[in-house]
Amino acid sequence: MVSKARCNGISTALIYTRVSSDEQAREGLSLPAQLADSRRYAAQSGWILGGEYQDVLSGKRDDRPQYLALLAEVRRLRGEGKPAAVVVKWLDRFGRSVLERARSAKELREADVPIHSVM
């Protein structure tokens, strides 16, 4: 059986924003700025806004709580057959660890969940 979300082609946008504490003051990098731009991008793409996940931690850490929650939600949605997309303002917001970024990108690609960067 195909879910209603799959039938109408509407994806759920899962938004991830992150700052390291020393980066918060930089213009355009604040959590509210990232969130506003990501919401706008998702709306312009015609997606339903799903969860919004924010970490204030170094992107070098793989154990960021909201990052892990985002990945868990992707798994849940895809397990239910619902389309999803991850939206970040910049790809480096998703993480700084090259190995973890490659691992998560592979997992998302295999789940047919694209990562969209606003910039």
15 token code pair: 């938004």
For residue 2, pLDDT beyond 60: no
Task: Enumerate domains of the chain plus CATH numbers.
Answer: 4-117 (3.40.50.1390)
User: Span 7-24, mean pLDDT?
Assistant: 79
Residue 32: DSSP 8-state: H
State how far the Cα of 56 lies from the Cα of 21, in Å rounded to an integer.
Answer: 6
Residue-level pLDDT at 28: 61
pTM of the full predicted structure? Answer: 0.86
User: Span 74-78, mean pLDDT?
Assistant: 96
CA angle (27, 28, 32) in 5-degree steps: 110
Q: What is the pLDDT of residues 16-53, one digit of tens each?
A: 999 987 656 565 688 999 999 999 999 999 999 999 99
